Amino acid sequence: MPNILLITADNLGYGDLRCYNASSRIISPYLDRLAAEGVRLTDFYTASPTCSVSRASLLTGRIPQRHGLIDQLAGIDGNYGTGLRQSETLIPQVLKRASSSYATGCFGKWNIGFAEGSRPTDRGFDEFVGHVSGNMDYYHHIYNGRHDLYQGTQELHADGSYSTDLFADAAIDFIQRHSKAGQSWFCYLPFNAPHFPNRKNKRPGQPDIWQAPAVAFEKYGWKADESDPRRRYEVVVTAMDDAIGRVLRSLDESGVSDNTFVFFMSDNGAFRLSRDGLDVGENTPLRSGGVTCWEGGLRVAAMARWPGRIPPGTVCSEVLWSCDLLATCAGLAQVELSETLQTDGHDMTAVLRGESRPVHRSLVFQYRTHAALRMGKWKIVREKATEPWQLFDLSSDIGETRDVSSANALTVQALDQEFRKWNDQRN
């Protein structure tokens, strides 16, 4: 059975990588190479435009309104509380049911609850090195004044270690150990990069700026004290790309590259809010960004590699989403899913290999007052339940610039009925 490496970025923009946006100046050779060596997905969606909810859907294969975690976990109480219902089944728990049980490790941002019973090692992961919250300091590992870095269930003190490298190092160690032992493994690597900095997580006098090692700045010819927020953001993405390159190299060195399914995605789109630190990610050519149901919040960069199975240098334009990952992992591990799970995803392996046509009739999205539904080339979206649906033809208007609802009333009606069916099914 293949190993599975699932990597997520945090708030990375759809247009940040050169393999999606030729005009991007971000240096990301390893992600660009990953796309070239496998398949790049153009129409891949996250089930929610915010961190906690997106991760819950990714790990459960269920839409937020089904798994119950419908909003971002807030503050110490939220992040260290129950979070995602403990009755939910996660990918690592599914993989433990394989005929040859997978070794499972999580290295990075957890953000779905850390009360007893909610921790990674309570939910199918054998190992965990990472942080509990949605946003900690990259070097001092502080969240709202509290130490936020853990190994298993115990605090891990590694002050001065850059979190991106720390998580990559832990993943590499996990991969090497289990590959040497000949055991199939599942490595979940949810980086906290390039999430924006937060002054609440800084020490007194520490500037509220993006952080990265000096070597990453040197790639651009910039100094580590560079003041431009956009430039600092770009360097953080490059530092993450370097870390991903080291992880991919460990697959080669361990001799398991050909037997490892690698999937990369962003948890949601870049934020495009008019506040410091929330307006520098690039979602070109999409509209708006994170915490909205416009394409910029939901459609994300994603790619997959599996040498000998997924043809290199291919592009997949089929509509897929993060809820498909649980079913895909189950399929790779030859685990039959129980119908009682009521998942909202499908095994997308055949689609990624170019052997199958679309698996989804429609996708639904709801976050706070925002809602949207995509069906085929059409998408309806609204920012408030009291507003009429806007309609966009994404085949000709990916940027959602022309509302064509007035000329396509029957189409709006059909998509509205589909939206209601989703809610009826969920209830």
3-class SS of residue 82: coil
Could you list the pLDDT tens digit for every one of the 427 residues in the chain?
A: 999 999 999 999 999 999 999 999 999 999 999 999 999 999 999 999 999 999 999 999 999 999 999 999 999 999 999 999 999 999 999 999 999 999 999 999 999 999 999 999 999 999 999 999 999 999 999 999 999 999 999 999 999 999 999 999 999 999 999 999 999 999 999 999 999 989 999 999 999 999 999 999 999 999 999 999 999 999 999 999 999 999 999 999 999 999 999 999 999 999 998 776 678 999 999 999 999 999 999 999 999 999 999 999 999 999 999 999 999 999 999 999 998 999 999 999 999 999 987 899 999 999 999 999 999 999 999 999 999 999 999 999 999 999 999 999 999 999 999 999 998 876 5
Domains identified in the chain and CATH numbers: 3-361 (3.40.720.10), 369-426 (3.30.1120.10)
Find the angle CA(1)-CA(108)-CA(332) to the nearest 5 degrees. Answer: 15
Report the DSSP beta bridge partners of residue 9. 266
Distance CA 104, CA 4 (A): 10
What's the confidence (pLDDT) of residue 276? Answer: 67
What's the confidence (pLDDT) of residue 278? Answer: 78
What is the signed CA dihedral for 168, 174, 177, 178, rounded to 10 degrees?
-130
Helices (H) and strands (E) in the chain, counts: 12, 18
Are the C-beta atoms of 322 and 346 separated by less than 8 Å? Answer: no
Report the DSSP beta bridge partners of residue 373. 364, 380
Sign of the alpha-carbon torsion through 297, 301, 304, 310: positive
Whole-model pTM: value is 0.98
- For residue 84, give both structure tokens: 């995602």
- For residue 25, give both structure tokens: 């100046």
What's the confidence (pLDDT) of residue 427? Answer: 59
Amino acid at 76: I
What's the confidence (pLDDT) of residue 273? Answer: 83
What's the confidence (pLDDT) of residue 197? Answer: 87
Are the C-beta atoms of 320 and 44 separated by less than 8 Å? Answer: yes
Q: What is the largest CA-CA distance in the chain?
A: 62
What's the confidence (pLDDT) of residue 356? Answer: 82
What's the confidence (pLDDT) of residue 112? Answer: 99
Amino acid at 218: E
